[in-house]
Amino acid sequence: MIFSLVACETAPKPYKRKAAPPVRLLESKTLTAKKTVATPPKKRFIQEGVASWYGPNFHKKKTANGETYDMYGMTAAHNTIPFDIYVKVTNLENWKSTVVRINDRGPFAKNRIIDLTHTAASKLSMLKNGTAAVRIEALGFKKEMNGKQVFIAPSSYSIKGTYTLQVGSFKTRGSAESLAKSIEPDFSNVHITDVEVGGEKYYRVLAGSYKTKEDAESDKERLIKAGYTGAHLLTE
């Protein structure tokens, strides 16, 4: 076994977000006489985008998995990651990280990928701004093995259920019906559902019913090209 120590150089000119701390990497090689076939690693879930947080207006209300929302807990809402999966969330603006459990669906706001509790947002120092650029890394389900807490990756990070696309959200049903009528000729299963957010009712215009995330993503791109830039993936 031969080991060599490699030190990563600091980039001479940082990007808009702060550079990650210097890392020391240990590189190794194994010399063998026989050819070996490497076992492919399990598929990982990594996503980058904007995080937000939700608090008093939702505190003690039901989450999508039936639990009671606790703004002081360490949970989060995501639209596609299965319930009870733990994820590591890293603030790409200050490189602070925290781990939360998925127990709710959302966010429903445009261009956001995860909603955190007040406490989780505080750990990432994003309460003041309300949002932050983050990286999500799925860890898996938490299990106890031999007296220790470990994370077990699922066979897939795709939820079991039906995918749909949210095209728009309105406070009046009339506006929702107008949008639904305009996209019905080009998209299947256009329908309207209502949801209560912070004590107010919103009417969501949904389109499509898909078995796979890939099929839903294809139609999402069609909607965006048609001018509906707020279209994003949901589950039903």
* Domains of the chain listed by start with CATH number: 46-152 (2.40.40.10), 163-235 (3.30.70.1070)
Q: Kindly report whether the global pTM for this prediction surpasses the value 0.75.
A: no
Which pLDDT score is estimated for 125? Answer: 97
User: Residue 134: CB partners within 8 Å, gap ≥ 6?
Assistant: 48, 49, 50, 51, 89, 90, 91, 92, 113, 114, 124
Q: Tell me if 134 sits within 8 A of 170, measured CB to CB.
A: no
Segments in the chain below pLDDT 70: 1-43, 159-161, 196-199, 236
Which pLDDT score is estimated for 94? Answer: 96
Which pLDDT score is estimated for 20? Answer: 60
Which pLDDT score is estimated for 70? Answer: 95
The C-alpha atoms of residue 165 and residue 21 are separated, in whole angstroms, by 38
Q: What percent of the chain has pLDDT over 70?
A: 78
Token pair recorded at residue 119: 């406490």
Which pLDDT score is estimated for 201? Answer: 79
